C-alpha cells in the first residue's frame, strides 16, 4: 500500500529477450494477474480463516471496487529488475 493505492506485484524471472511470462490458466486458476485471478486470490485469502489474510482480502477488494488497485509484474535477472504496470488505477 502507498497512500490510498494498493499494489499487487507478481515477480517472475526475466527472460533473455526481456520478456516476462505469467502462468496461464491452470485447473481452476485463471491466468495470473487478470481480474478473475485477483478475485480468486481474494476468495482464497478469505477462506483461510486467518484474521490477517482476511483483512488483506478486504483491503484488496476495497481497492478493486474503488479503482485504487494497481497490478504490477516485476521481471528479475542478474542485471536487476524491470517493472511492468498491467493496468488498473491511474
* pLDDT tens for each residue of 35-74: 999 999 999 999 999 999 999 999 999 999 999 999 999 9
C-alpha 58/C-alpha 41 separation (Å) is 11
The model carries a pTM of 0.82
pLDDT surpassing 60 at residue 90:
no
- Do strands 80-88 and 6-13 pair parallel, antiparallel, or not at all (unpaired)? unpaired
Mean pLDDT of 74-82: 89
Looking at 23-27, 32-36, 45-49, which range is the least confident one? 23-27
Dihedral angle computed from the Cα positions of residues 58, 84, 89 and 71, in that order, rounded to the nearest 10 degrees? -20
Residue 52: all three cell numbers together: 490477517
C-alpha 68/C-alpha 4 separation (Å) is 7
State the pLDDT at residue 50: 97
Strand partners, 14: none
Amino acid at each position: 500500500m502507498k497512500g490510498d493505492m494498493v499494489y499487487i506485484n507478481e515477480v517472475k524471472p526475466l527472460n533473455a529477450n526481456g520478456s516476462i511470462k505469467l502462468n496461464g490458466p491452470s485447473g481452476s486458476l485463471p491466468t495470473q494477474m487478470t481480474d478473475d485471478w485477483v478475485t480468486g486470490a481474494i476468495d482464497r485469502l478469505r477462506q483461510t480463516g486467518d484474521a490477517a489474510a482476511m483483512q488483506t482480502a478486504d483491503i484488496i477488494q476495497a481497492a478493486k471496487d474503488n479503482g485504487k488497485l494497481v497490478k504490477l509484474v516485476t521481471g528479475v535477472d542478474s542485471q536487476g529488475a524491470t517493472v511492468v504496470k498491467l493496468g488498473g488505477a491511474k
